Structure 1
């Protein structure tokens, strides 16, 4: 083959490779949208094919199994997180690294809103994967977690490592939670919201001199139906771990060592189960907020009592609260109802923060932004149960809560 022919062939191969990659990227973007709307288990080849204007057979040319497609979408998200964290690590201090990481996230979110970039698959459904794919993806997630923790440094005592773990988790969960509430803002407001969120993470919400001395609230109440609470608790744990579609009726019944018929004794359908689990969780949060208000004290004391009580629930056997990630499995009408309830809880937090700012027990922060940071912290604490079990519960609650109480760079909690 002469040189011109060889060059022409290589150009043809390069063009083919580019076309292949472009089509593959389009399929992954469509899969990410489907996962975010319907969960990984709910995603279908037919739906993904429809989103990119292909037939199902064409999609299977790129990905043989639905599980392979979901895994590739998750791996793409993990790769992007590694890329962002590597960028952030170039900054000289923990404060600058966290600010850079948040800035990259906001810039990407704005680009998605403008239609310049595609959304990535949310990782909440990752645990619903099976076998080797799940093991590989969880290994990738642990790598991302360690990279995030290292934003604060990689040396230090065991207590410092524990505290950095809490900070890493809250930071990551807050960046994932942005997609839930940032669309309420105009894109030109994103820089201001970013600055206000960085302010919360840098200085915390408690006014200078405020101490961490929470009083755990009594959330005990009588069961209206014997056995229902245990049933909903088991379902909540499985849904949090496996996602809405991953937690089958059979698995929930097996967890309680009862028959599937027992499930339908309590509830008529699986959607009704998720709604009941959400209602239980939202009722617990609302009860904690009301009890804190009734107990009185400064608004900082009311907030710390609420936060500590709910984190204690998340880390205890009577927990957890249902994660908002299960919303993707619900029909649109039911999902909208649950989101409205979540927003009411966030607004109540914002009201408590506003009153505390006026009183002087809370820093002068943006209460709407801070309330969403609190929702993310509270919602995701379930994932830190294993971490919390390695230390006294009171210490685990204090370490985790300090991330927003005093910010991500204040070490006073190490002396508690």
Structure 2
């Protein structure tokens, strides 16, 4: 198996630990994860981990931030000056992700100034979201995880709300409550991520229904979905 969604070899010890954490989560899941198993994957001594992290949860919070850079690759970028195109690309990036070559190609072609050659979305391999989902699930009982993921969802929501507001300002979208619309879209997208890692899901069906929502709920009169 590949070393997950990472572009190239780790450049320092911290990044080496992040790669090792990913592999350990993929092999053992959260329940079977331990500092020793991560150390074995990283080929480092267990004691060396405590130079960087206070314990397992501290390490996983750092891992979560690292994975967000992979999971959210490209999110927040303005892909198009047309808010309709921009919204649809963002939703596809959330629901299907760079694992879908159609999404990768559309994002790479749309980002102003181009996407760096070593960006994860250019790698052509699947972006495994399972380890990210494993860590996120700890928010059920761990307040620090819950607080951080609330912030992450808020950032996704803010991006989508901003796109919808641009569409309203340009007359492409009808006047709606942007925060409520964004809340629903993030909820659907995150549900697709979780289901995609825990069940067999037809993402094309989800995206088709999201397009229908955009068409019937958001588009201003006279604007058509291409």
The corresponding residue for 1:410 is 216
Cα 1:408–1:81 change in 2 (3 A) is farther
Cα 1:180–1:109 change in 2 (3 A) is farther
Query: If the length of structure 2 is used for normalisation, what is the TM-score?
Result: 0.58
Cα 1:110–1:164 change in 2 (3 A) is closer
1:200 equivalenced with 2:209 (yes/no): yes
The Cα shift of 1:160 comes to 4.8
How far does the alpha carbon of each residue in 1:225-257 deviate from its partner, in whole angstroms, 9 at most, with x for none? xxxxxxxxxxxxxxxxxxxxxxxxxxxxxxxxx
- 1:156-167 alignment to 2 at 5 Å? 159-167=177-185
How far does the alpha carbon of each residue in 1:167-186 deviate from its partner, in whole angstroms, 9 at most, with x for none? 2321232234222345x8xx
- Residue 125 of structure 1, aligned match among 128, 132, 138: 138
The corresponding residue for 2:187 is 169
How far does the alpha carbon of each residue in 1:339-391 deviate from its partner, in whole angstroms, 9 at most, with x for none? xxxxxxxxxxxxxxxxxxxxxxxxxxxxxxxxxxxxxxxxxxxxxxxxxxxxx
Q: Could you tell me how far apart the structure 2 residues matched to 1:49 and 1:56 are?
A: 5
The Cα shift of 1:166 comes to 1.6
Q: Could you tell me how far apart the structure 1 residues matched to 2:178 and 2:154 are?
A: 18
- Residue 154 of structure 2, aligned match among 118, 124, 142: 142
Cα 1:101–1:79 change in 2 (3 A) is same
How far does the alpha carbon of each residue in 1:302-348 deviate from its partner, in whole angstroms, 9 at most, with x for none? xxxxxxxxxxxxxxxxxxxxxxxxxxxxxxxxxxxxxxxxxxxxxxx
- Asked if the contact 1:29/1:118 (under 8 Å) is kept, the reply is no
Structure (1 or 2) with the larger CA radius of gyration: 1
Query: If the length of structure 1 is used for normalisation, what is the TM-score?
Result: 0.35
How far does the alpha carbon of each residue in 1:97-125 deviate from its partner, in whole angstroms, 9 at most, with x for none? 3432354453533699x866554511232
The Cα shift of 1:66 comes to 0.9
The corresponding residue for 2:48 is 58
Q: Could you tell me how far apart the structure 1 residues matched to 2:142 and 2:24 are?
A: 15
The Cα shift of 1:47 comes to 2.9
RMSD: 4.0
The Cα shift of 1:29 comes to 1.8
The Cα shift of 1:69 comes to 0.9
The corresponding residue for 1:38 is 30
How far does the alpha carbon of each residue in 1:22-44 deviate from its partner, in whole angstroms, 9 at most, with x for none? 41332342355378x235xx632
1:27 equivalenced with 2:25 (yes/no): no
- Asked if the contact 2:39/2:46 (under 8 Å) is kept, the reply is yes
Q: Could you tell me how far apart the structure 2 residues matched to 1:177 and 1:126 are?
A: 17
- Asked if the contact 2:99/2:126 (under 8 Å) is kept, the reply is no
Cα 1:408–1:48 change in 2 (3 A) is farther
Which 5+ residue runs of structure 1 have no aligned equivalent?
1-16, 185-192, 204-406
SS at the partner of 1:91? coil
- Asked if the contact 2:157/2:186 (under 8 Å) is kept, the reply is yes
Q: Could you tell me how far apart the structure 2 residues matched to 1:67 and 1:81 are?
A: 20
Which 5+ residue runs of structure 2 have no aligned equivalent?
1-9, 102-119, 169-173, 219-226
Alignment size in residue pairs: 179
Q: Could you tell me how far apart the structure 1 residues matched to 2:64 and 2:160 are?
A: 18
Q: Could you tell me how far apart the structure 2 residues matched to 1:153 and 1:71 are?
A: 32
Q: Could you tell me how far apart the structure 2 residues matched to 1:130 and 1:34 are?
A: 26
